[in-house]
Structure 1
Amino acid sequence: MSVTVRIPTILRTYTDGRSEVAAEGATLADVLADLERNHAGIGARVLDEEGKLRRFVNVYVNDDDVRFAEGLGTATPDGAGVSIIPAVAGG
């Protein structure tokens, strides 16, 4: 399944400055693995040492927060949009 991944500014150094890239995969885990294959280094910024989503990174498939869906097992149907959004903290 081909999806469009929206890349936040902080991670665009891995995508040659592109704000959107195409990726393949039936699940979010597959899409992230494809991103890492094609944009080395991005995976470590999104996943922790145990291969789980980092706490400060929010990921959406279409408009659904994957933390309230199937996590890395969330389906990524053909044509879906995946958004990687770093959490913002402060006061």
Structure 2
Amino acid sequence: MMKNEKGFTLIEMMIVMLIISVLLMITIPNVAKHNSNINNKGCEAYVKMVQAQVQSYQMEKNKIPTLAELQTAGYLRDVKDCPNGQEVVIDSEGNVTAAAITD
């Protein structure tokens, strides 16, 4: 006479672990790819926001500011690099761009 024990066999548990592992291997690279895309979009938005602040500063003070001047005058709360690691730069004509950081 067999006992009717409820539970999972070792084979069933290993199959479930295999399925979970395959799902993780598929989803993790996709998440990493989307994360870099999000960082690039965040950088574009930050550059546009800094550009707007440069134009505001230019209208008020009649000169092209540096990032430090924007911060001291209260136009930017804090000066930081883009989420994707690029550096925000203001050129001599007042155009804001994001460039790779060079050491």
**TM-score, normalised relative to structure 1:** 0.31
Q: Over alpha carbons, which structure has the higher Rg? A: 2
The structure that is strand-richer by fraction is 1
Judging by fraction of residues, say which structure has more helix. 2
- Greater RCO (CA < 8 Å, at least 6 residues apart): 1
